[in-house]
Chain A
């Protein structure tokens, strides 16, 4: 690990100042000299790997006093960004009214990591692409912009089939973000000029020609909360992976439905493990909405979700797998007792 200065901040203003101070105007957040430390499960790992090289660590954990509340209400839900994954997953109201959120968190990482990792850090976690994580590979456009992509012609079994560019095919690895994007969550961002709210769907950026820019957050900005309107008791997070526990998704689906007398009145579908960013499958939702649900419809919805997917040498199986995950998640959501 490279040397860094360390300071612990006790209020958001100090955090924002400390994080902005070291940043050049056009720094990509991922390359910023000052990085916030929350749970540390991504940052410390990537610093040990020499993938991230901050010179200043700003420990924002004391902000948890104001930023970790779990607040379910009759009209919606607000989650502080420094709430721990484990606490949200174990919250009885979240399990009952937002099972897609509780399960996306419960099925991620390990009990230890969920105790450490925060919601804000979780959505900011970086790809598990092995060529990104291993600095002995020179060519990684995300790590060394302009250097090429070792995954493109490498072993790309784990890589994305949706949202890729000819610069980067790294998969967005998280689970919780799929629940957020499916439920039209808003994200509160605290920066120099106070706090602003924007749709969570606008947080992550597809790689395009700048894979090193992963989100629309700028240096000096912090996620302070997430909010969701309404309740989504008929919702499911289904995750297919190489082993039953403690593994990243090969393919996952976050599904939330409103079903009345067998007819799907509203539908939300998001895909994980298959795309470069948290992926909302709006075309698939359109196929589903207003229809009587049956297995044939589930199949057509799944086909629509992957209509634009593009497989590579080792990851084409994700298209077939992903369709089955979507269809099964829909079946589970329709038949679940609420």
Chain B
């Protein structure tokens, strides 16, 4: 988490809120929760933006957003990290898959506010310097895509699939990659790519 002070510009400021807590019946509870976990953003008035710090690919990013913003929209619309794709926007297609605290999740059903304090890894954070991550390289080597729209989600999901220990057989790979839909049906090549990359990833 960033230690930077809260923005003074936002109409909703945690410190101002703490100082002036009064009003609705919810306030004491909120104030208490905030006091116990001061790094957590709380949106009290839905019509106001709320300040949040997201840690994305190892860097803290400060945002002022609508409480309804998902991690996917925060990445794409606010941080201009457009690698994560919006397919269905309902958690069905997997195109928006990112890692949160090293676990694969669908970012379209994750509220940005709820992801504060957690480590978000996107496709943009996978390569080191100019060297592709082994899974990215394996997708290239095996022609594991056609249109490419699902590919960032496939790759993020595949990295987690391997680390979970679910890439031991083709049947396992198919089962544990079923949350990532490929409209071009590049599935055989995706399975081949995951198989290729798995030993190298497990080696670390």
Contacts and interface: CB of A to CB of B under 8 A. Distances in A.
B67 interface: yes
Interface in A104-162: 109-113, 115-116
Contact of A111 (B30, B41, B104, B114): B104
Given A3-B47, A246-B179, A37 B114 contact: yes
A251 B157 CA distance: 28
A198 interface: no
A307 interface: no
B78 interface: no
Given A61-B114, A112-B179, A8 B106 contact: no
B36 A10 contact: yes
Contacts of B175: 245
Contact residues of A: prevailing secondary structure: mixed
Q: Which of A8, A57, A62, A111 has the most CB of B within 10 A?
A: A111
A335 interface: no
Contacts of A9: 29, 33
B106 A112 contact: yes
Interface stretch (B135-143, B158-166, B193-201): B158-166
Contacts of A290: none
Contacts of A6: 41-43, 50, 67, 111, 113
A109 B106 CA distance: 12
Interface stretch (B1-9, B56-64, B90-98, B120-128): B90-98
A56 interface: yes
Contacts of A55: 46
Nearest to A46: B90
A44 interface: yes
B155 interface: no
A11 B36 contact: yes
B53 interface: no
Given A3-B68, A40-B114, A110 B43 contact: no
Interface in A11-65: 11, 14, 17-18, 21-22, 37, 40-41, 44-45, 48-49, 55-57, 59, 61-62
Contacts of A7: 26, 29-30, 33, 42-44
Interface in B1-53: 25-26, 29-30, 32-33, 36-37, 40-47, 50
7 pairs of A and B residues whose beta carbons are closest in the complex: A110-B179, A3-B46, A245-B178, A246-B178, A6-B43, A44-B109, A115-B103
